[in-house]
Structure 1
């Protein structure tokens, strides 16, 4: 078994744990809310098929890209899309398994069109989960590199992204037993007020800016304009890869 396959199995096993289910539920709710009113033509989620990041979105072309399965099998470090061709890109912990996270983020910036949206999820090193010895073992099992929130914001700024919203969540301690997690629900209620930047996971929404360019409304084809090119992929109606909204 390769290291990548071992990491994939580690992620699948971890997501079935009480901690994993707790984290996944928070992330799914954030993504459902964020993508519901984002419009365009082409949307892609890179990895984590257990998380249906595009299920609440209504763009006509939505794909799940994965390095081992999914609608589109590809490398996340060399995406098969033209420059400036995607309207929405979802990266759920996609940078944490990258050999070079900054390069992978730059590749995401390349394929997003001006004013395109980037949604990122990552584990927060500055949290109870980040400091807990069990989380270090979980990180090794899943092949994750934890990237701090401030570090990621600096990378996004260098790549001409504006961070429009950031949220932290999952404030309960990383207990291994479900009853213990349930007993600490009060921390999720008070965490955003008492210790807002110490949630176990962060969710960032960013917009790709191009200096000197201003888009009004949704870019569509018209006289003298052609829509951004994208690779030829099966239409959403002809496949079952992404579950229907």
Structure 2
């Protein structure tokens, strides 16, 4: 049985996250995820893919799961949530409207059918459920480096990933009645491959947040599943019924009494 294309590509991203550049990305994402998930309440939360990122470690829901396309080849550290479900990301093995929170770390850009993945996420979320999506920003120095790597063959990141812009992602979410709460951008250093050079460009983190906030190499989008509320319909009121119920205005009563007495 052939495995879906997402497996090979997203598995390649895992080892990259263990490199100095990947560690730089992972540290920023971990800090933002801890901030976002700490105050999201409910009962059931799921992280889909990339066990290298501990997306739910700060969340306090009683039921938290990590799913992936395969079981880990080696024993995971105690700090990581165990993988409990192995599945195809385009077909989530959860009941409809059963999850309060879903986190997608770099799943969409490595998925063969990102729209289908989002449709599945919308299906399993409860009304007002939340989704957090992590991705690489094509409108950044890293995005340009990725394009150049495809042309020259000197790949900076796994080549199978297709970067999805934030406006494009927002359009997809809007079609699914998902309302974006806000977005976060980070990792403004140039696409360096060594920890030494990444530290030299650490000053660009604050400068980027202030002067070019939408050009960070990585983004995080936080959205809610909105359900259009039902409109309560009362009894049909005709004009005659309304007049009978309301009675004759006081001014009209006074005017009629004057005419009769006159």
Q: Does TM-score exceed 0.5, indicating one fold?
A: yes
Name 1:176's counterpart in structure 2.
193
Q: Distance in 2 between matches of 1:202 and 1:20?
A: 14
Match of 2:208 among 165, 174, 191: 191
Q: Distance in 2 between matches of 1:150 and 1:124?
A: 11
Deviations 1:157-176 (A, max 9, x none): 11101111101000000111
Name 1:209's counterpart in structure 2.
226
More relative contact order in 1 or in 2 (CA 8 Å, sep 6+)?
A: 1
Report how many aligned residue pairs link the two structures.
Answer: 213
Match of 1:35 among 34, 37, 40: 37
8 Å Cα contact 2:145-2:156 kept in structure 1: no
8 Å Cα contact 2:10-2:107 kept in structure 1: no
Name 2:160's counterpart in structure 1.
143
Name 1:107's counterpart in structure 2.
120
**Equivalent runs, 1:224-239 vs 2, <5 Å:** none
Deviations 1:8-43 (A, max 9, x none): 552232112111000000001110111111111110
**Equivalent runs, 1:25-174 vs 2, <5 Å:** 25-69=27-71, 70-133=83-146, 136=150, 137-139=155-157, 141=158, 143-174=160-191
Give SS of 1:76's match: coil
Give SS of 1:197's match: helix
Q: Distance in 2 between matches of 1:62 and 1:12?
A: 21
- What RMSD in Å do the two structures reach over aligned CA positions? 1.9
Q: Which runs of 5+ in 1 are unaligned?
A: 215-245
**Once the 2 structures are TM-superposed, how far is the Cα of residue 5 of structure 1 from its aligned partner?**
5.7
Q: Distance in 2 between matches of 1:6 and 1:30?
A: 27
Give SS of 1:143's match: coil
TM-score of the aligned structures, taking structure 2 as reference length: 0.77
TM-score of the aligned structures, taking structure 1 as reference length: 0.82
Q: Distance in 2 between matches of 1:150 and 1:130?
A: 15
Q: Distance in 2 between matches of 1:142 and 1:64?
A: 25
Q: Which runs of 5+ in 2 are unaligned?
A: 72-82, 232-262
8 Å Cα contact 2:6-2:111 kept in structure 1: no
